Amino acid sequence: MDLLDIYLLNLVLTVAMFIVLIVRAWLEFKNYKVMWNEIEWQKTRRTAREILKSEKETFLKMDGGQELYDILCHLFEVDDKNNEI
């Protein structure tokens, strides 16, 4: 094996490691975006729960408000045991 073959082997290994590094970084970025979206959804649910619980009477005063309130409670996973009027 002469010196040129060793240099080419080194170049191939370096390029392969760089490709592996890029793929791993892309996967980590994809997972980060999924985790970020889940965190944002949890913040939205928490805010909606607070609003639904504090504005329950407003929902119940309007026509169809009970059904709307029940649907929103189900959507935002509010554990309001007495959802009824």
The closest alpha carbon to 76, from 36, 29, 26, 42, belongs to 42
Mean pLDDT lowest among 12-16, 18-22, 42-46, 76-80: 76-80
**pLDDT tens digit sequence for 23-58:** 999 999 999 999 999 999 999 999 998 998 888 888
**Global pTM value:** 0.56
Q: Helix, strand, coil proportions of the chain in percent (round to 5)? A: 80, 0, 20
